[in-house]
Amino acid sequence: MQTAKKKKSKTRKQFLFLIAITAVPLVQFAIFYVGVNLNSILLAFRYYSFDTGYSFAGFGNFERVFYEIANNALYKTMLVNSLITYVVYVGVGITLALLFSYFIYKKMPLAGVFRIVLFLPSIISSVIMVLLFKYFTESAIPTLLNNLFDIEMSGFLSTTKTAQPVLLFYMVWAGFGPQILMFTGAMNNISDAVVESAQMDGITPVKEFVFITVPLIWPTFVTFMVVSVAGIFTNQLNLYSFFGTGATTSLWTFGYYLYHQASMSNLPEYPFLAAVGILFTLIAVPLTFLVRWLLEKFGPSAD
């Protein structure tokens, strides 16, 4: 009888301990995710008046969103820039990260140097990296070209034609850190017996990468691809880090637009921005599931 009471008391203490350690993250989730998103959904169906405050607006904010998309040239510019950013991030960023990860995983010559250079933006503060990169592209390179070749030119970020390619390069380079960390971690979990068996059969490094490494780390690759879909509407292309709220509209993406408008607008604009966010979510969610289904269905199998 006494043993049963001790077990019951121990179970109660374990239960209270579990509640204690999960209470804080659950409260944070309830406030900062459920509460914020629920408020955004409700806000999309309201309008604000300085005299009466918030009132029900029906689908008026959504009608304005569709009108802006159809008639405001800025939305077309943001769509093009956001799609270019997404394509470069996936086609160049993730692809190169996969190749560099394999290079480091196989411990090829200068693999350590590559690791340091590619991890550098993740190790140093992003503010410092932006300042250094901005100084390098705006002052150092134009001065060097002028001194060596007598070429007069303005900074790369000051010219519209060169600003976007430079920002895309920085986005790809700055994103290598977490991508390579995840890819190399997945590659290091590949069984040595599988690799050694393939090498005994005379497999080349290229075939090993294509037929062994990629299939065995495919779930990690799928994760990056699925998460990147949301970046179509959230990626700022580091515009705020480089220009603050003063970036030229020809460079705007959807992510920068939402951040810029939310920080610069007043209360009457918040319901409209909430409606924009909900519309983007309604597009991104099914697109995300579609990309995941396609990658899992037609991707390589570990078997």
DSSP states of 114-129 = HHHHHHHHHHS-HHHH
Q: How far apart are CA 130 and CA 263, in angstroms?
A: 21
The domain locations on the chain are: 2-43, 72-298
What's the pLDDT at 222?
92
pLDDT value at position 2? Answer: 53
The predicted pLDDT at position 143 comes to 82
Q: Which two tokens stand for residue 100?
A: 């560099």
Dump pLDDT digits (tens) for 94-123: 999 999 899 888 888 877 777 777 777 777
CA 12 – CA 31 distance, rounded (Å): 28
Rounded to whole angstroms, how far apart are CA atoms 179 and 230?
Answer: 16
Q: In the prediction, which pLDDT does 7 show?
A: 63
The tokens describing 208, both together, are 């090993």
d(CA 230, CA 278): 13
- CATH class in words for 72-298: mainly alpha
Return the closest-CA partner of residue 251 out of 65, 72, 74, 68: 74
In angstroms, the CA 125 to CA 85 distance is 23
**CA-CA distance, 238 to 258, in Å (whole number)?**
13
Task: Tell me what pLDDT residue 79 has.
Answer: 94
Segments of the chain with pLDDT less than 70: 1-10, 302-303
The pLDDT score that the predictor gives to residue 55 is 87
pLDDT at 262: 86
